[in-house]
Amino acid sequence: MIFFEVLLSFFFALAICLITFLSFYLFVRKIWRREYVKWDMMIDLLLRKAIFFHENKTGQLTLIPVTPRLKDNLKNKRFCKQFVKKIIAAKRNMSGRYGENLRHLYIQLGLDKKALRLLESRKWHVRAYAIQQIGTMGLKEHLTRIYRYTNNKNDLVRIEAQIAVLNLFGFEGLRFLDIISYQITEWQQIRLLKELSTVPQAELTGIDKWLNSSNPSVVIFALKLVRNYHRYELYEHIVSCLDHDDASVRRQAISTLTEIYTENTSEKLLSRFEAETYKNQIAIMNAIAVIGDVQNVSILLGYLEAEQHEMKFAVARALVNGNANGLECLLNDPRSKTYPLNDMIPQLKSEIKW
């Protein structure tokens, strides 16, 4: 009985402590929230002043007025972190003189020096954050400091450095593809392509060299560049990638050929069909369905013997879209009256592009 009384007292005391802790936590959080609201108002006011700040008559940008209170608050780590976050976000959405004013304010407050100190941190996420700041704020003078991180062993540091270089030099920043030894993941490629979509169009050179890189991910990324920027003059280089040792490179080459092709591209793809992996065979059939220009329909009819329904459908689609007489040939084939082709044909008819 005494044991249960002691146990009950213990849980009661524990509940009191928990309630006290939660009450204190919510109280502190409420104070912080009020503080953050005040900080946001102060920061937003300064950023608006900076954005619309004008040069003096000499043509030189003078110091942007900053209140002593804000300068003191910058000594507070939480305030400084909030300020950097907001000025970085504002800079991403501003260009021209307005963006340059924000850059000027960033340097005026010594935040560039803080970023450089963070760059030497042993913590990878801190280094990545510093690199992100340098790239977004356009601090080209620090290129050499961050360029070496474009081949860093840490994925996040590496991608932030690569994006920072693109921010600073646009398409020229892709020169890091010459030296990187680590693989560029699919996620990283998506980020790089998204970043490039915001960069003003310029002459992009060096793709032919990247298509011959010993790093398969660089070749894949180069193939995506060829496709996205319609570099028809690199057609032969794309075709040569169909013989690459890496199956994923070959698959990307097949995909790229759906945009960059000639009248005999389908025949070149068909000639490699037998030796390809299953995924790449599907990719070949999907490409032929887009490209068309199939001369020898009998070859495609032969592949209808595939057991997998996915392959059978891909072949049938390539047949229907790859030749003007493809649908007629398919309908004349006895197999078109049997399952699963008899279920597939109605959908294929709706996709005909002739």
Residue 269 lies in a domain: yes
Instruction: Give the Cα separation of 279 and 271 in Å (integer).
Output: 16
Structure tokens at 139: 């601090």
- Give the dihedral sign, CA 20/24/27/30: negative
Write out the chain's pLDDT in tens, 354 residues. 665 666 666 666 666 666 666 655 555 555 556 677 888 888 999 999 998 887 665 556 578 888 889 889 899 998 999 999 999 999 988 888 889 999 999 999 999 999 999 998 999 999 999 999 999 999 999 988 899 999 999 999 999 999 999 988 888 889 999 999 999 999 999 999 998 888 776 677 889 999 999 999 999 999 999 999 999 999 999 999 999 999 999 999 999 999 999 989 999 999 999 999 999 999 999 999 999 888 888 888 888 888 899 999 999 999 888 888 888 888 888 888 888 888 888 888 887 655
Residue 170 lies in a domain: no
Residue 323 lies in a domain: yes
Instruction: Give the Cα separation of 293 and 137 in Å (integer).
Output: 50
Instruction: Give the Cα separation of 32 and 78 in Å (integer).
Output: 10
Residue 289 lies in a domain: yes
Q: Which H or E element spans position 279?
A: helix 278-291
Residue 336 lies in a domain: yes
CA 220 to chain CA mean position, Å: 14
Amino acid at 161: A
Q: With 0.95 as the threshold, say if the pTM is over it.
A: no
Residue 326 lies in a domain: yes
Q: Find the radius of gyration of the CA atoms of the chain.
A: 30
Instruction: Give the Cα separation of 352 and 354 in Å (integer).
Output: 6
b/e per residue 85-95 (b: at least 16 CB within 10 A) = ebbbebbeebe
Structure tokens at 237: 């280089």
End-to-end CA distance of the chain: 89
Domain count, the chain: 1
Query: Which domain range does residue 303 map to?
Result: 262-354
Closest to 70 in 3D by CA, of 101, 109, 22: 109
Residue 316 lies in a domain: yes
Q: Which H or E element spans position 50?
A: helix 2-51
